[in-house]
Amino acid sequence: MSRVINGNYPVSDDLRGRVQQAMEQLEYHPNAIARGLRRQQTQSIGVLIPQVNDSYLGMFSHIVEKTLFAHHYRALLCSTEESLEKETAYIESLLQQRVDGVIMFPRAHSRQNVERLLKQDIPVVMIERKLPDLPVHHVLVKNYEGGYIGMRHLIDLGHRNIALIAAYFETYPISERIQGALDAKRDAGIVLNPEDFLSIKSEERRFEIGYRLAVEILKRPHDRARFSL
Amino acid sequence: MSRVINGNYPVSDDLRGRVQQAMEQLEYHPNAIARGLRRQQTQSIGVLIPQVNDSYLGMFSHIVEKTLFAHHYRALLCSTEESLEKETAYIESLLQQRVDGVIMFPRAHSRQNVERLLKQDIPVVMIERKLPDLPVHHVLVKNYEGGYIGMRHLIDLGHRNIALIAAYFETYPISERIQGALDAKRDAGIVLNPEDFLSIKSEERRFEIGYRLAVEILKRPHDRARFSL
DNA sequence: CTGTTAGCGCATTCAA
DNA sequence: TTGAATGCGCTAACAG
């Protein structure tokens, strides 16, 4: 009897006892599928991440999973692998799965996918990316401040020749950090040397290129602090 | 019409066209919940891992997710955090979710949980742990050979004083590796010095203790190669 | 080839 | 307080 399991209706102790005993004997496990169909609610949240296999994102997904678990929700972790195609396929899957909500950590331009979710009235939380004109929740880090503080720290340490390496420099969180860093430089009255800003194109493998650029910088004359965003 | 979607019944082009058009207009997404209830099959596989947030396990879960995805299955990643309680809670959840199968990467003694799954006829795949008397699939690495080859390599390099650090030394994959390593030593006619085998108790934080033990070994006199399992 | 129907397991009515 | 009936959206079986 559903009333015993959910405890949202008055039930006599006698009946409850008999039902519970029967449940144990039959090794009965409530069918979450049928319940989801009836209640139109699945207690599951889609979590889209560029790659689970990454220290920062792994930490992020872990804490999300842990929190959802504690609130009796299940996280459907979806590794998009930076691919918009896979993200789209996963969105379709989550739509069919009738998830109660979606948390997105997008790298690519996922606007259309977000719109598809909203059209089906599925709440969306965006991490570290802005979609100001859409009714979604945002979780944003103080990127500008981070960039500013980081650069400021190096300046306070006495460094003056500070180069900047950035990937995805045209996208939201990074552009903010860069702006913060550049502003810190400007506020300290340090000349902005264009050759000190090295960007990595999005298509390139970021790790290797970052390494190569760093090596190049270190080959330059003078003492230089490095700063990677 | 389900026949159009699934394409497993003959349908005229005319009807198919009309149905497809209607689907687009209504922004129809097949309800996987209802389908799962009807078909008694959910196209989802539970994947239990001690921690997603770990380089080796992260890689493992990533490749599993990728493979399942390609086969139109969804991976329900469950991070057990080395806790038997959380593993048990997840097993119950997967049981209720009616997953089509479970892949387990257990650290703790998960025998009972495996038995609960089998009792409901859910296929189980065990990674790197043996449960010989249970009808489960096993995926095992050649641990003995790995330990043997590793030790053999150091011996071939000319080292003679070789210490061994191991956590969970009493559990399956590790004990195999240790046996392999010790056999390699014996086969090379090297005396087994008991103080060369350092174990880490399972309760301890493995990383820090491993580091401390390694430092201790390095303080010893003589040239010693280190070997961690 | 196509329309109709029953039932998957549950939660929520409505009666009793 | 409890039993019985309905329908969530789908697919498989059965007619047509």
pLDDT tens string A126-162:
999 888 899 999 999 999 999 999 999 999 998 888 8
* pLDDT for residue A15: 83
Co-location of B89 and B102 in the same domain: yes
User: Is B8 (CB) below 7 Å from strand C?
Assistant: no
What is the count of structural domains for chain B?
A: 3
Contact residues for A24 (Cβ-Cβ < 8 A; gap 6+) = none
Q: Which nucleotides of strand C lie within 7 A of protein CB? A: 1-3, 7-12
The rounded distance, in Å, linking the Cα atoms of A9 and A32 is 20
The rounded distance, in Å, linking the Cα atoms of B24 and B35 is 19
Residues A172-213: tens digit of each pLDDT:
888 899 999 999 999 998 877 777 777 776 566 567 777 887
Between A113 and A216, where is the model more confident? A113
Co-location of B38 and B135 in the same domain: yes
The reply to whether residue B52 touches residue A62, judged by beta carbons under 8 angstroms, is: yes
Q: Which amino acid is at B121?
A: D
What are the DSSP E strand ranges found in A26-97?
Answer: 44-49, 74-79
Q: Which residue carries 């296929």 as its tokens?
A: B123
Contact at 8 Å (CB) between B44 and B74?
yes
The reply to whether residue B66 touches residue A79, judged by beta carbons under 8 angstroms, is: yes
Co-location of A126 and A222 in the same domain: no
Residue A25, both tokens? 């004997």
Tell me what the mean pLDDT of segment A108-115 comes to.
86
User: Is B40 (CB) below 7 Å from strand C?
Assistant: yes
Co-location of A20 and A109 in the same domain: no
Contact at 8 Å (CB) between B139 and B128?
yes
Domain boundary residue among A122, A139, A156?
A139
The rounded distance, in Å, linking the Cα atoms of B119 and B121 is 5
Nearest to A167 by CA among A212, A221, A114, A220: A212
In chain B, residues 137-166 whose CB comes closer than 8 Å to chain A: none
Co-location of A75 and A101 in the same domain: yes
Co-location of B21 and B42 in the same domain: no
Alpha-carbon Rg for chain B, nearest whole angstrom, is 25
Q: Which residue positions in chain B have pLDDT lower than 50?
A: none
Contact at 8 Å (CB) between B125 and B136?
yes
Domain boundary residue among B92, B113, B139?
B139
Please give the residue range of the domain that contains residue B10. 1-30
Co-location of A62 and A99 in the same domain: yes
Co-location of B148 and B122 in the same domain: no
The reply to whether residue B74 touches residue A95, judged by beta carbons under 8 angstroms, is: no
Each residue of A116-144: b (16+ CB within 10 Å) or e?
bbbeeebebbbbbbebeeeebeeeeeebb
Co-location of B135 and B37 in the same domain: yes
Co-location of B76 and B117 in the same domain: yes
Tell me what the mean pLDDT of segment A113-128 comes to.
95
User: Which residues have CB under 7 A from strand D?
Assistant: A 1, 3, 9-12, 14-15, 34, 37-38, 40; B 2, 5-6, 8, 28, 30-31, 34-35, 37-39
The reply to whether residue A65 touches residue B52, judged by beta carbons under 8 angstroms, is: yes
Q: Which residue carries 């994947």 as its tokens?
A: B47
Residue B190, both tokens? 């090297």
Q: pLDDT over 70 for what percent of chain A?
A: 90
At residue A180, the 3 state secondary structure works out as helix
User: Is A3 (CB) below 7 Å from strand C?
Assistant: yes
Domain boundary residue among A98, A117, A139?
A139
Co-location of A26 and A86 in the same domain: no
Nearest to A77 by CA among A41, A51, A40: A51
Residues A27-54: tens digit of each pLDDT:
999 999 999 999 999 999 999 998 887 7
Co-location of B5 and B40 in the same domain: no
**Residues linked to residue B225 through DSSP beta bridges, in sequence order:** B162
Asked whether the CA dihedral A146, A147, A148, A152 is positive or negative, the reply is positive
| CATH code for the domain in which residue A150 is found | 3.40.50.2300
- Length B29 CA → D13 C1' (Å): 25
Contact at 8 Å (CB) between B96 and B64?
no
What sections of B103-201 are H helices per DSSP?
A: 111-119, 143-156, 172-187
- Length B38 CA → C7 C1' (Å): 8
* pLDDT for residue B75: 96
Using a CB-CB cut-off of 8 Å, the residues of chain A touching B74 are 76, 93, 97
